[in-house]
Amino acid sequence: MPVFKVCMRIIKHNLPALGIYLAIFIGISVLYATNMNQEVDPNFSQSKIPMAIMSADESPFIDGLKEHLSGVARFVDLEDESEAIQDALYFREVVYILRIPQGFTDDFLKGDYQMMEKTVIENAANTYYIDLALDQYLNTARLYVGLESMDERQLADAVLGDLDEEIEVLVTTTASNQNVMEFMVQYFNYLGYGLFSILILGVSFTMFLLHDVDVKNRNASSPIPTGRIVREHIFANVTFAFSALTLFLIALFVLGVREFTIPMLLFVLNAVIFTLCALGISFVIGTLVKSKAAIHAVANVVALGLSFLSGVFVPQFLLSERVLKVASFSPVYWYVRANEHIGQMTEVSPDRLIIPLQGMGIQLVFAVMFLSIALVIGKRKWGLKNI
């Protein structure tokens, strides 16, 4: 198979150029895998909120309120002056200021509830925790006031005792599985860009050199039939394409993903179909390219442009509808769409397979279309009736 060997030598000669895309892809994947493997504590941990309390009423009941609020708040000493308060809020020294009026405890025990005054930073979501703690303390205290007679200290101790009761909750986390699926989606999405770029370069290099006028004339005078030359050329490019895909899959194994689950098989199947599609596009580009210098430019424009439009680097849900409509005319869009839906599978069922299989089917249509175009153009260049 002399033509096959020549094609492999051409690809081998251009390995440095192909290796750049492979190195970029592996580098991004390693960084993502490193972040994925970092241990994350699944337990919720709340930071305390800076708060100032300005109370004109001092009593054991108010002391109990402060003790309860200390679980969610960090108290800051603040002068009761307009300028000091404004500065503290502006520089985020405090985000919540609570004013308790004179006689609040006495009125509370009588069932006459005075309003507290609060000052908060606008749109500060964490102040909700202080409001919640306030409501818990005061609402629990109202129950005791309505049921039995207690002094301030007894009331505060009873409320704090009730609020200190804890319920053991078992939290089941699937963070590890989610991280693996997120990594798989990102890996195979990036694989689309890296594989697409490498195939355009490798296939275009071989087709450009074999379509050279001098090479074609020498081949025409050789004893090898033209049809066989074309078939060996196609076989060489197919071998190169699936060798590149295999290399990417081996890299995935090296990075630690070694479970052969159904979603994993779907990811691989989607990548195989995309490889056929990318190969068809590469054949078309290889038959049309006019110079070796233009090959790199075309590879960057086509692979990088379609990747940005189709959601390889930016998730599709962040892209506008107009961009997605334009991207839907490219196979990369359907490849990424299938990957994202495979990554969302918590269980495999016929309903959940519809969108991924639809994306794969559309990619196959693109592959057949581009391969047909490449064969038509190739027949004219080689002057063949049948291949």
pLDDT on residue 271: 92
**What residues contact residue 386 under an 8 Å CB cut-off, 6+ apart?**
227
Task: Fill in the amino acid letter for 236.
Answer: A
pLDDT on residue 378: 67
∠ Cα 61 161 167 (to 5°): 140
**Which domains does the chain show, CATH number per domain?**
2-39+175-382 (no CATH), 49-163 (3.40.1710.10)
pLDDT on residue 358: 92
| Low-confidence residues of the chain: pLDDT under 50 | 37-44, 171, 173-175
pLDDT on residue 42: 44
pLDDT on residue 75: 92
pLDDT on residue 374: 78
Question: Tokens 């066989």 appear where?
Answer: 228
Instruction: State how far the Cα of 18 lies from the Cα of 346, in Å rounded to an integer.
Output: 37
Task: Fill in the amino acid letter for 148.
Answer: E
Distances (CA, A) of 372 to 183, 252, 279: 35, 32, 12
Distances (CA, A) of 303 to 191, 197, 270, 309: 11, 6, 18, 10
pLDDT tens figures, 117-166: 988 887 777 788 898 999 999 888 888 886 667 788 888 888 888 888 76
pLDDT on residue 41: 47
Instruction: State how far the Cα of 190 lies from the Cα of 214, in Å rounded to an integer.
Output: 39
- Reading the block at residue 126, the tokens are 């964490």
pLDDT on residue 344: 82
